[in-house]
Structure 1
Amino acid sequence: MLLIILLSNLFVNSAGGAITDLNCTYAVGGDYKFAQSAVNCKNKMSDANCQILYGDAVKVDTNNTDRDAKCAGNPVNPELLHTAINTCPKQCGYCCLTPAYNCQNKLQPRYPCSSVTQDMCESREWRSILEEDCPKTCGLCDSGSCVDEAPGCNLENSFICQSKNLETFAKRYCKKTCGYCNTAPTAATGVGCGTNANCASWVRNGFCSSTFYTEAHKRQYCGRECGLC
């Protein structure tokens, strides 16, 4: 079935003009542009094959060129969209819809998700914190022990997660999607004084003064820099 869909794509006419499928975009005035979240993942197939199947890749922060119609059709065909997400999400600008990125960062993270680097996302020392606080930024939505307990939480994400009336429901049944995972376990008391290679950057971003970290965490990762040793 997948092969049939991919082959049929080769005969779909390409589309130009303004963006019509608003997935992974953001509004600027009356226009929409592709967000960084549209391309912050890797294609499942080779980039060369994705180029053949889906044409030119989308460009971030632009609104003058729509996705190639082979990505999902125009209007959107659910089967084509599903195939694009599972084969060439970066090429078609659908990274935000892949399982690894299709959730929300915590509303009050212990470290600003906007300041998280790729090195931090890949760091073992930060893994437990970022899995719970910044999973969307790091592509960790489908990892960790925190999961949604109701099906379809991400299908109506903008409604369920942002509705005040559904806040109790979201906290109970849509923890992962809506960013309500429990905080990471605190470091054990009496942990030794550590100096992480990223301390200079963390300290500049308020790590030492942050109330979201315990003193044990601060001592473990940046004890000397925070004046705790």
Structure 2
Amino acid sequence: MLFLLAFLFSVPSTSAAIVGDLNCTTYNGTAFVYANTATICSNALSDTACNALYPTAPAGGPLPAPGTDAARPTNCYTSKTTTPAPVDKDMKTAAINQCAKTCGYCCQSAPYSCPNAQYPSMNCASITNSQCLDPNWRTVIAANCPAACGLCNTGGCVDAVVDCANDVTICNSVGMQDFVNKYCQRTCGRCPSTTAANSGGTGGSCSRFITDSSANCKAWSGNGFCSNTFYTTAQRKAYCATTCRIC
């Protein structure tokens, strides 16, 4: 472990423009800058530990931040000193798993690494962190732009209030049922099931299903297209009747 730390500290970094690995960046017309999702997550390790493991140079230099072009710490992705340096997949994977925020790799961590809906009802690139936490936006974002808020692999089933899981006793509390049914669907298991969402001319009684009209149905289904009530049965049937099991 001490050898690993010594190795990491020995790798030089730079405060120049982003080079080597442009993931989680966007081009603003003059330079590549970090996207909103580059640092939207939390580090698995403490920020102090990540800042020590992945230092910037000179000491105290800027870390990745949305809209800026300060180079990410070099040892987030390589052990080479050439510019641009080749990406070392093992080093990058370790950085994503441990210190994704410090290295500007949040968009490549599992909760943020999935396709958004092909035809979302909003601009996924413009979604802010405050919207990700807003009860009025979360369920809509989960169905349309899950990668923007770290809602991948939820199937569109999310808590509208982010701290529901802090006290799961509310799931069975008398007088709280209207609240949890609306705001704590994932924690309390109140999301509409695929079967329920597809009832009425749907389900296992069909002998055959209409062929999907879109090649993206598998991905959409994983993002909640077949179960989230944001979409109508008519929309599911028009695009993904077979995948969603709609007669």
TM-score, normalisation: structure 1: 0.58
Greater C-alpha Rg? 2
Q: 1:174 aligns with which of 212, 216, 219?
A: 219
Q: 1:69 aligns with which of 41, 53, 74?
A: 74
Query: How big is the shift at 1:15?
Result: 2.9
Identity %: 33
Alignment RMSD (CA, Å): 3.5
Q: Which structure 2 residue ranges, 5 or more long, are not aligned?
A: 57-62, 79-84, 158-212, 236-247
> Could you tell me which amino acid in structure 2 is paired with residue 29 of structure 1?
G
SS at match of 1:109: coil
Q: Which structure 1 residue ranges, 5 or more long, are not aligned?
A: 147-166, 188-211, 213-229
Query: How big is the shift at 1:100?
Result: 0.8
Which is worse superposed, 86-95 or 71-80?
71-80
1:67–1:92 CA contact under 8 A, matched in 2: yes
The aligned residue for residue 17 of structure 2 is 18
The aligned residue for residue 141 of structure 2 is 130
SS at match of 2:77: coil
1:5–1:80 CA contact under 8 A, matched in 2: no
Q: Which runs of 4+ in 1 moved over 6 A?
A: none
Change (3 A) 1:30 1:13: same
Change (3 A) 1:34 1:126: closer
- Give aligned pairs, total: 165
Write the deviation string for residues 63-89 of structure 1: whole angstroms up to 9, x where unpaired: 2x3111111113211000000000000
Q: 2:64 aligns with which of 32, 55, 58?
A: 58
- Distance between the aligned counterparts of 1:119 and 1:31, measured in 2? 26
SS at match of 1:136: helix
Write the deviation string for residues 141-168 of structure 1: whole angstroms up to 9, x where unpaired: 132269xxxxxxxxxxxxxxxxxxxx94
TM-score, normalisation: structure 2: 0.55
2:140–2:230 CA contact under 8 A, matched in 1: no
Which is worse superposed, 43-52 or 14-23?
14-23
